[in-house]
Amino acid sequence: MKLNKIFAIALAAITLSACSDDDDFNTAGDVTVSMEQSTMTVDENSDLFYVPIIVTGTSNGPIQVRVTVAENGSTPATADENYLVTTKTINIGKGESVGNVEIIPVDDRFQNADRTFTVTITSASGAKVGQQSSCLVTLKDNDATLYGRLQGKWTMTGLDAFTGGDVSIAATITGMNAGEEGYGETLFINFNPDGNAISIMTTLVQTQDGGYALKADLGQVTASGIPYSEYRLDLLLFALDPAQGYYRSGYVGLAINADENEITWPSAYILDLFAMALRENQYLQLGDYYAYENPKWVRE
Protein backbone atom coordinates (compact mmCIF):
# COMPACT_ATOMS: atom_id res chain seq x y z
CA MET A 1 0.00 0.00 0.00
CA LYS A 2 2.70 2.47 1.01
CA LEU A 3 4.83 1.72 -2.08
CA ASN A 4 1.78 2.06 -4.34
CA LYS A 5 1.16 5.49 -2.82
CA ILE A 6 4.76 6.45 -3.43
CA PHE A 7 4.50 5.35 -7.05
CA ALA A 8 1.30 7.34 -7.56
CA ILE A 9 2.78 10.46 -6.00
CA ALA A 10 5.99 10.07 -7.99
CA LEU A 11 4.01 9.65 -11.21
CA ALA A 12 2.04 12.79 -10.40
CA ALA A 13 5.28 14.63 -9.78
CA ILE A 14 6.66 13.50 -13.14
CA THR A 15 3.47 14.66 -14.83
CA LEU A 16 3.68 18.07 -13.15
CA SER A 17 7.33 18.33 -14.10
CA ALA A 18 6.50 17.60 -17.73
CA CYS A 19 3.79 20.26 -17.69
CA SER A 20 6.13 22.84 -16.22
CA ASP A 21 8.61 22.28 -19.05
CA ASP A 22 6.03 23.75 -21.42
CA ASP A 23 5.72 26.96 -19.40
CA ASP A 24 8.16 29.77 -18.76
CA PHE A 25 9.47 29.86 -15.23
CA ASN A 26 8.83 32.85 -13.01
CA THR A 27 10.60 36.02 -14.16
CA ALA A 28 9.49 38.34 -11.35
CA GLY A 29 12.40 39.62 -9.31
CA ASP A 30 12.89 39.25 -5.56
CA VAL A 31 11.27 35.82 -5.44
CA THR A 32 13.08 33.38 -3.16
CA VAL A 33 12.52 29.83 -1.93
CA SER A 34 13.54 28.75 1.57
CA MET A 35 12.88 25.99 4.05
CA GLU A 36 10.01 26.99 6.32
CA GLN A 37 11.69 25.34 9.32
CA SER A 38 15.32 24.79 10.15
CA THR A 39 14.49 21.69 12.23
CA MET A 40 11.57 19.32 12.62
CA THR A 41 10.88 16.10 14.51
CA VAL A 42 8.62 13.28 13.30
CA ASP A 43 7.80 9.91 14.87
CA GLU A 44 9.29 7.07 12.85
CA ASN A 45 5.91 5.31 12.73
CA SER A 46 4.21 8.34 11.13
CA ASP A 47 2.66 8.20 7.70
CA LEU A 48 3.74 10.52 4.90
CA PHE A 49 4.84 13.93 6.17
CA TYR A 50 5.91 17.18 4.51
CA VAL A 51 9.01 19.33 4.72
CA PRO A 52 7.62 22.70 3.55
CA ILE A 53 9.40 25.04 1.15
CA ILE A 54 8.06 28.60 1.25
CA VAL A 55 8.07 31.17 -1.54
CA THR A 56 8.76 34.78 -0.63
CA GLY A 57 7.49 37.29 -3.19
CA THR A 58 4.80 36.97 -5.87
CA SER A 59 5.67 34.76 -8.83
CA ASN A 60 4.32 35.26 -12.35
CA GLY A 61 5.14 31.73 -13.42
CA PRO A 62 5.99 28.29 -12.02
CA ILE A 63 9.05 27.57 -9.90
CA GLN A 64 10.99 24.33 -9.84
CA VAL A 65 13.04 23.48 -6.75
CA ARG A 66 15.60 20.69 -6.51
CA VAL A 67 16.61 19.22 -3.17
CA THR A 68 19.09 16.69 -1.84
CA VAL A 69 18.82 14.52 1.26
CA ALA A 70 21.86 13.49 3.28
CA GLU A 71 22.75 11.60 6.42
CA ASN A 72 23.50 13.78 9.41
CA GLY A 73 24.74 13.44 12.98
CA SER A 74 26.10 10.57 15.05
CA THR A 75 23.03 8.37 14.38
CA PRO A 76 22.16 9.23 10.78
CA ALA A 77 19.02 8.19 8.95
CA THR A 78 19.67 6.41 5.68
CA ALA A 79 17.55 7.04 2.59
CA ASP A 80 15.50 4.06 1.35
CA GLU A 81 16.17 2.30 4.65
CA ASN A 82 14.90 4.65 7.34
CA TYR A 83 12.81 6.90 5.10
CA LEU A 84 11.59 7.23 1.50
CA VAL A 85 11.46 10.44 -0.55
CA THR A 86 8.79 10.54 -3.25
CA THR A 87 10.62 13.10 -5.43
CA LYS A 88 13.54 15.52 -5.12
CA THR A 89 12.11 17.90 -7.73
CA ILE A 90 9.36 20.11 -6.34
CA ASN A 91 7.11 22.05 -8.70
CA ILE A 92 5.41 25.15 -7.29
CA GLY A 93 2.71 26.75 -9.41
CA LYS A 94 2.37 30.38 -10.39
CA GLY A 95 1.36 32.50 -7.41
CA GLU A 96 1.60 29.62 -4.96
CA SER A 97 3.44 30.21 -1.70
CA VAL A 98 4.31 26.70 -0.52
CA GLY A 99 5.76 23.50 -1.98
CA ASN A 100 6.38 20.29 -0.08
CA VAL A 101 9.05 17.63 0.01
CA GLU A 102 7.09 14.44 0.73
CA ILE A 103 8.77 11.85 2.97
CA ILE A 104 7.61 8.53 4.40
CA PRO A 105 9.41 7.18 7.50
CA VAL A 106 10.12 3.45 7.78
CA ASP A 107 9.17 1.97 11.16
CA ASP A 108 11.72 -0.73 11.98
CA ARG A 109 10.18 -1.90 15.32
CA PHE A 110 13.64 -1.96 16.93
CA GLN A 111 14.63 0.29 19.80
CA ASN A 112 17.36 2.68 18.68
CA ALA A 113 18.53 6.26 19.06
CA ASP A 114 16.68 8.97 17.17
CA ARG A 115 17.99 9.25 13.60
CA THR A 116 18.66 12.47 11.69
CA PHE A 117 19.07 13.66 8.12
CA THR A 118 19.01 16.97 6.25
CA VAL A 119 16.90 18.15 3.34
CA THR A 120 18.68 20.91 1.42
CA ILE A 121 17.59 23.12 -1.46
CA THR A 122 20.41 22.88 -4.00
CA SER A 123 18.97 24.96 -6.85
CA ALA A 124 15.79 26.53 -8.18
CA SER A 125 14.46 27.59 -11.56
CA GLY A 126 12.43 30.79 -11.42
CA ALA A 127 13.59 31.82 -7.95
CA LYS A 128 16.63 32.50 -5.84
CA VAL A 129 17.58 30.19 -2.99
CA GLY A 130 17.10 31.92 0.35
CA GLN A 131 19.41 31.96 3.33
CA GLN A 132 17.58 29.14 5.18
CA SER A 133 18.14 26.42 2.62
CA SER A 134 18.33 23.33 4.88
CA CYS A 135 16.07 21.55 7.33
CA LEU A 136 17.37 19.03 9.86
CA VAL A 137 14.81 16.22 10.24
CA THR A 138 14.83 13.97 13.31
CA LEU A 139 13.06 10.60 13.10
CA LYS A 140 12.06 9.99 16.70
CA ASP A 141 12.25 6.36 17.75
CA ASN A 142 8.90 5.03 18.94
CA ASP A 143 9.98 1.60 20.11
CA ALA A 144 11.10 2.37 23.67
CA THR A 145 7.55 1.75 24.97
CA LEU A 146 4.81 -0.73 24.16
CA TYR A 147 2.55 2.25 23.50
CA GLY A 148 4.82 3.30 20.67
CA ARG A 149 5.50 -0.19 19.35
CA LEU A 150 1.83 -1.03 18.93
CA GLN A 151 1.26 1.90 16.60
CA GLY A 152 1.53 1.20 12.91
CA LYS A 153 0.00 -1.00 10.22
CA TRP A 154 -1.95 -4.15 11.01
CA THR A 155 -4.34 -6.51 9.22
CA MET A 156 -7.71 -7.41 10.72
CA THR A 157 -8.76 -11.02 10.08
CA GLY A 158 -11.76 -13.12 11.12
CA LEU A 159 -15.11 -14.26 9.80
CA ASP A 160 -18.00 -12.11 8.63
CA ALA A 161 -20.81 -13.11 11.01
CA PHE A 162 -23.42 -12.44 8.34
CA THR A 163 -21.91 -14.31 5.39
CA GLY A 164 -19.46 -16.69 7.08
CA GLY A 165 -16.76 -15.54 4.67
CA ASP A 166 -13.16 -14.81 5.59
CA VAL A 167 -12.27 -11.21 6.37
CA SER A 168 -8.97 -9.47 5.73
CA ILE A 169 -9.01 -5.69 6.17
CA ALA A 170 -6.08 -3.28 6.34
CA ALA A 171 -5.96 -1.54 9.72
CA THR A 172 -3.82 0.93 11.62
CA ILE A 173 -3.29 1.61 15.30
CA THR A 174 -2.67 5.24 16.17
CA GLY A 175 -2.12 7.11 19.43
CA MET A 176 -1.94 10.56 20.92
CA ASN A 177 0.94 12.99 20.49
CA ALA A 178 3.27 13.72 23.38
CA GLY A 179 1.71 16.36 25.62
CA GLU A 180 -1.86 15.50 24.60
CA GLU A 181 -4.34 14.04 27.08
CA GLY A 182 -4.26 10.25 26.88
CA TYR A 183 -0.69 10.02 25.61
CA GLY A 184 0.83 6.71 26.72
CA GLU A 185 -2.59 5.09 27.23
CA THR A 186 -5.16 5.89 24.54
CA LEU A 187 -4.87 3.98 21.26
CA PHE A 188 -7.24 3.85 18.30
CA ILE A 189 -7.83 0.76 16.15
CA ASN A 190 -8.80 2.04 12.71
CA PHE A 191 -10.14 0.06 9.74
CA ASN A 192 -12.31 0.76 6.71
CA PRO A 193 -14.80 -1.93 5.71
CA ASP A 194 -16.61 -0.90 2.53
CA GLY A 195 -14.81 2.43 2.71
CA ASN A 196 -16.47 3.39 6.01
CA ALA A 197 -13.91 4.77 8.48
CA ILE A 198 -14.27 2.98 11.83
CA SER A 199 -12.15 3.87 14.86
CA ILE A 200 -12.32 1.90 18.13
CA MET A 201 -10.89 3.82 21.08
CA THR A 202 -8.97 1.64 23.57
CA THR A 203 -6.85 2.10 26.68
CA LEU A 204 -3.57 0.25 27.18
CA VAL A 205 -3.71 -1.51 30.57
CA GLN A 206 -1.61 -4.04 32.45
CA THR A 207 -3.27 -7.35 33.34
CA GLN A 208 -3.00 -9.28 36.61
CA ASP A 209 -0.61 -11.80 35.06
CA GLY A 210 1.83 -9.02 34.15
CA GLY A 211 0.85 -8.88 30.49
CA TYR A 212 -0.93 -6.10 28.64
CA ALA A 213 -4.30 -5.68 27.01
CA LEU A 214 -6.38 -3.05 25.27
CA LYS A 215 -9.54 -2.11 27.15
CA ALA A 216 -12.39 -1.09 24.83
CA ASP A 217 -15.51 0.49 26.32
CA LEU A 218 -18.69 -0.92 24.85
CA GLY A 219 -21.36 1.44 23.58
CA GLN A 220 -18.85 3.92 22.17
CA VAL A 221 -19.50 5.52 18.78
CA THR A 222 -16.95 4.15 16.33
CA ALA A 223 -18.20 5.84 13.15
CA SER A 224 -20.63 8.65 12.37
CA GLY A 225 -22.41 10.07 9.39
CA ILE A 226 -22.58 6.89 7.30
CA PRO A 227 -25.38 7.43 4.77
CA TYR A 228 -28.24 4.91 4.77
CA SER A 229 -31.33 5.81 2.74
CA GLU A 230 -32.69 8.97 4.36
CA TYR A 231 -30.89 8.21 7.61
CA ARG A 232 -27.46 8.98 8.95
CA LEU A 233 -25.92 6.04 10.79
CA ASP A 234 -23.83 6.09 13.94
CA LEU A 235 -22.05 2.78 14.60
CA LEU A 236 -21.77 1.66 18.23
CA LEU A 237 -19.35 -0.98 19.49
CA PHE A 238 -20.85 -4.01 21.24
CA ALA A 239 -19.86 -7.54 22.21
CA LEU A 240 -22.52 -10.07 21.23
CA ASP A 241 -22.66 -13.41 23.05
CA PRO A 242 -23.90 -15.84 20.36
CA ALA A 243 -24.57 -18.61 22.89
CA GLN A 244 -26.73 -16.50 25.18
CA GLY A 245 -28.04 -14.08 22.58
CA TYR A 246 -27.34 -10.92 24.54
CA TYR A 247 -25.10 -7.90 24.30
CA ARG A 248 -22.49 -7.53 26.99
CA SER A 249 -22.27 -4.14 28.68
CA GLY A 250 -19.25 -2.42 30.18
CA TYR A 251 -16.04 -3.17 28.35
CA VAL A 252 -14.01 -5.94 26.72
CA GLY A 253 -10.31 -6.64 26.93
CA LEU A 254 -8.32 -7.28 23.75
CA ALA A 255 -5.34 -9.52 24.50
CA ILE A 256 -1.86 -8.58 23.24
CA ASN A 257 0.34 -11.63 22.70
CA ALA A 258 3.88 -11.84 24.08
CA ASP A 259 5.46 -11.17 20.69
CA GLU A 260 3.35 -8.00 20.32
CA ASN A 261 2.32 -9.02 16.81
CA GLU A 262 -1.28 -10.15 17.47
CA ILE A 263 -4.21 -8.54 19.24
CA THR A 264 -7.30 -10.70 19.77
CA TRP A 265 -10.91 -9.93 20.58
CA PRO A 266 -12.44 -12.19 23.30
CA SER A 267 -13.32 -15.48 21.59
CA ALA A 268 -16.62 -15.80 23.49
CA TYR A 269 -18.04 -12.70 21.85
CA ILE A 270 -18.72 -11.39 18.35
CA LEU A 271 -17.38 -7.93 17.57
CA ASP A 272 -20.61 -6.19 16.69
CA LEU A 273 -20.93 -2.70 15.23
CA PHE A 274 -24.54 -1.83 15.88
CA ALA A 275 -26.24 0.69 13.60
CA MET A 276 -28.27 3.50 15.08
CA ALA A 277 -30.03 5.83 12.65
CA LEU A 278 -30.39 9.49 13.48
CA ARG A 279 -33.43 11.23 11.98
CA GLU A 280 -35.01 14.41 13.22
CA ASN A 281 -32.65 14.31 16.24
CA GLN A 282 -33.94 10.92 17.41
CA TYR A 283 -32.22 7.54 17.24
CA LEU A 284 -33.95 4.67 15.49
CA GLN A 285 -32.57 1.17 15.93
CA LEU A 286 -31.66 -0.49 12.64
CA GLY A 287 -29.69 -3.49 13.91
CA ASP A 288 -26.27 -4.89 13.06
CA TYR A 289 -24.23 -3.21 10.39
CA TYR A 290 -20.96 -5.16 10.74
CA ALA A 291 -20.28 -8.23 12.86
CA TYR A 292 -17.10 -10.32 13.04
CA GLU A 293 -16.41 -13.70 14.65
CA ASN A 294 -12.97 -14.37 16.16
CA PRO A 295 -11.48 -11.11 14.91
CA LYS A 296 -7.83 -10.43 15.52
CA TRP A 297 -5.30 -7.89 14.37
CA VAL A 298 -2.00 -9.16 12.97
CA ARG A 299 0.96 -6.87 12.50
CA GLU A 300 2.11 -6.36 8.92
The structural domains of the chain, ordered by start, are 2-140 (2.60.40.2030), 146-299 (no CATH)
Element (H, E) at 7: helix 2-21
Give the pLDDT confidence score for residue 10 in this predicted structure. 43
Q: How far apart are CA 203 and CA 188, in angstroms?
A: 9
Give the pLDDT confidence score for residue 5 in this predicted structure. 39
Give the pLDDT confidence score for residue 23 in this predicted structure. 60
* Residues 216-241 pLDDT 10s: 999 999 999 887 777 788 999 999 99
Laid out side by side, the sheet with 63-72 consists of: 39-43, 134-140, 115-125, 63-72, 89-92
Residues of the chain with pLDDT under 50: 1-22
Q: Which residues pair with 39 in a beta bridge?
A: 136
Give the pLDDT confidence score for residue 12 in this predicted structure. 42
As a residue count, the chain comes to 300
Give the pLDDT confidence score for residue 229 in this predicted structure. 74
Q: How far apart are CA 265 and CA 253, in angstroms?
A: 7
Angstrom distances, CA of residue 175 to CA of 64, 80, 137: 36, 25, 21
Q: How far apart are CA 151 and CA 178, in angstroms?
A: 14
Element (H, E) at 275: strand 270-279
Give the pLDDT confidence score for residue 279 in this predicted structure. 65
Sign of the CA dihedral with 245 first, then 250, 254, and 255 last = negative
